[in-house]
């Protein structure tokens, strides 16, 4: 009986991250969804699990121009503060102001209401250089 409990506990400890197919990903654990001529950016389920409870998000200003891999936000959790990077160059067109009052949306719905910014890319074709879901799953070992 003891052995069965141990196996069950081990099984429950293995939590697979959600990695939607219709998005792109970065090695820094950001997701990118293309919507018309803009992209939406957030952090992955894997990232929010690693950060644990998120308590604060420092957002950029609308209109800010970002370069490839430029830090644009800080996500603070009970464990640490982590920079968030622009996967590609472009201009911030919107920020998720709901995160000011409810930063836990990043934990609760990282691919939905927990989005961070919208951007208009300087070079929209550059999206094709990012990882797809299969490549990201391989990156995080799933």
pLDDT digits (tens, 9 = 90+) for 66-91: 999 999 999 999 989 999 999 999 99
Which helix or strand (DSSP H or E) is residue 50 part of? helix 45-51
Contact between 127 and 32 under an 8 Å Cβ cutoff? The reply is yes
Give residue-wise pLDDT tens across range 92-139.
999 999 999 999 999 999 999 999 999 999 999 999 999 999 999 999
Give residue-wise pLDDT tens across range 8-64.
434 434 457 899 999 999 999 999 999 998 999 999 999 999 999 999 999 999 999
DSSP-derived secondary structure for 65-89: EE-TT-EEEEEEESS-EEEEE-SS-
Alpha carbon distance 42, 29 (integer Å): 9
Beta bridge partners of 39: 34, 119
């Amino acid at each position: 009986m003891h052995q069965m409990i141990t196996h069950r506990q081990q099984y429950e400890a293995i939590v697979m991250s959600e990695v939607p197919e219709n998005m792109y990903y970065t090695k820094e654990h950001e997701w990118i969804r293309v919507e018309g001529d803009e992209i939406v950016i957030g952090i992955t389920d894997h990232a929010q699990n690693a950060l644990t409870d998120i308590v604060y998000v420092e957002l950029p200003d609308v209109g800010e121009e970002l370069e490839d891999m430029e830090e644009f936000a800080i996500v603070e959790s009970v464990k640490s503060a982590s920079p968030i990077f622009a996967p590609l160059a472009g201009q911030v067109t919107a920020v998720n102001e709901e995160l000011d009052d409810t930063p836990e949306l990043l934990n609760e719905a990282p691919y939905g209401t927990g989005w961070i910014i919208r951007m208009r890319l300087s070079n929209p074709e550059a999206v094709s250089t990012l990882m797809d879901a299969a490549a990201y799953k391989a990156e995080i070992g799933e």
